[in-house]
Amino acid sequence: MSKAIKTLAVLTSGGDAPGMNAAIRAVVRTAVFYEKRIFGIKRGYDGLIEGDFEELNSKSVKNILNLGGTILKSARSEEFKTEAGQMKAYEQLQKHGVDGLIVIGGNGTFTGAHRFFEAHGVPVIGIPGTIDNDLFGTDYTIGYDTATNTVVDCIDKIRDTASSHNRLFFVEVMGRDSGFIAMNTAVAIGALDVILPEQNKSYEDLFVEIEKGASNKKTSNIVVVAEGNKLGDSFSIANKVREHFPQLDTKVTILGHLQRGGAPSCFDRVTASKLGVAAVEGLLNGRFDVMAGMVDEELTYTFLQQAVMNKAQLDPEMLRISKILAI
Ligand SMILES: Nc1ncnc2c1ncn2[C@@H]1O[C@H](COP(=O)(O)OP(=O)(O)O)[C@@H](O)[C@H]1O
Ligand SMILES: O=P(O)(O)OC[C@H]1O[C@](O)(COP(=O)(O)O)[C@@H](O)[C@@H]1O
Ligand SMILES: [Mg+2]
């Protein structure tokens, strides 16, 4: 274990995700366990550039394990994408004597962290925290489990009213470029169909599924729409469907940011705790420029660049299962 690293810092970046606080807690307590100093950096890379640092101890992270959001706050920083911004960030780390950085975030955060490591050689390690689950090198990103449970809970409620009125609902879920939330919740709520960013679905394909649902005399039909899909936003999709099936009573619900809030599930808390410990121990053992992740229940370290570039792939079997069960 490296004695060279004496002072660590942790930040959260990109979209917040339930379980980020559990990861912060694990990072801070593990650092304290190994007798290292630990700073919390506020507002992601913006706070890093501006020197918004606060020294933390084990008591600073009491009673946050169960909280959604992130006590460190998060940001999307345009300045960190520039060389000048990265230089300012490096100078802040030097000023505070930080010799190891832990970033909790998603693919954008890791892209920035890898560039930072290449430009300034700062030992950096990532913890996957995003509801999108779009990183290679971990089966689950922190926040994904809670977000999908929230979506299922919401769609179950929509189903009640949809059935009472014999309606067709398009429910839009998050996932900027990734269909994980949509695909898994579609199976979990028994969707008629799902529209994913990873697919080249046509309106004709969609109309065939809706026709099937209508001819089977179902009392309610729900199509789960991933936000980043190629057909369009859920309102324009619903309008096209109304033109084609004017007899159907068609509604749209966009679940939006409520998917990112709420207390983290047990699974997200446990994953965050494991990965928080693994990130600090990884850094202290000389593992830099990598993300700590869980694959088949095993702790793994994957290079940040690979975690981003290889992108987690949807299981095509899920689409097949969804289709079989929608008859
Ligand atoms: N190419 C890049 N170079 C430097 N920083 C980047 C780059 N891409 C993203 N980032 C930083 O990471 C932040 C978070 O990325 P974003 O995509 O918004 O969220 P997430 O990390 O959750 O995917 C961005 O606001 C930016 O500061
Ligand atoms: O909160 P914002 O800035 O509107 O961003 C919305 C995006 O953030 C997410 O919730 C999470 O994405 P990231 O983890 O990549 O930030 C996406 O699903 C969604 O497209
Ligand atoms: Mg992302």
Active-site annotation holds for 249: no
Model pLDDT for residues 207-241, shown as the tens digit of each residue: 999 998 888 888 889 999 999 999 999 999 999 99
Residue 126 predicted with pLDDT over 60: yes
Which distant-in-sequence residues (6+ apart) come within 8 Å of 96 by Cβ? 7, 9, 39, 51, 53
**Do the two domains 7-143+264-309 and 144-260 of this chain adopt the same fold?**
yes
Tokens at 131, concatenated: 């509801």
Model pLDDT for residues 11-26, shown as the tens digit of each residue: 999 999 999 999 999 9
Q: At what angle do helices 83-95 and 107-120 cross, to 10 degrees?
A: 70
Model pLDDT for residues 2-13, shown as the tens digit of each residue: 558 999 999 999
Mean pLDDT of 148-152: 98
Which distant-in-sequence residues (6+ apart) come within 8 Å of 26 by Cβ? 272, 273, 274, 275, 276, 277, 280
Average pLDDT of the chain is: 96
Q: Would you kindly state where each structural domain of the chain is located, as residue ranges? A: 7-143+264-309, 144-260
Looking at residue 327, what is its pLDDT? Answer: 86
Using a 6 Å cutoff on CB, does residue 176 contact ligand 1? no
Has this prediction a pTM greater than 0.90?
A: yes
Looking at residue 22, what is its pLDDT? Answer: 98
The Cα 327–Cα 306 span in angstroms is 39
Looking at residue 1, what is its pLDDT? Answer: 59
Q: At what angle do helices 234-244 and 203-215 cross, to 10 degrees?
A: 60
Catalytic residue among 16, 99, 132, 289: 132
Top mutation candidate among 103, 132, 180 for ligand 2, by most atoms within 8 Å of CB: 132
What is the CATH class of 7-143+264-309? alpha beta
Query: What is the Cα 218 distance to its own chain's centre?
Result: 34
Residues touching ligand 2 (Cβ under 6 Å) are 14-15, 106, 108, 130-132, 174-176, 227, 260
Mean pLDDT of 290-300: 97
The residue whose CA has the least distance to atom 14 of ligand 1 is 14
The Cα 95–Cα 167 span in angstroms is 60
> What's domain 144-260's superfamily in CATH?
Phosphofructokinase domain (3.40.50.460)
- The single-letter DSSP state of residue 301 is E
The residue whose CA has the least distance to atom 1 of ligand 2 is 15
Mean pLDDT of 262-271: 98
259 is an annotated ligand-binding site residue: yes
- Determine the distance separating the centroid of ligand 2 and the alpha carbon of 204, expressed in angstroms: 30
Work out which ligand 2 atom sits closest to the CA atom of 259: 10
ipTM of the complex: 0.99
Residue 28 predicted with pLDDT over 70: yes
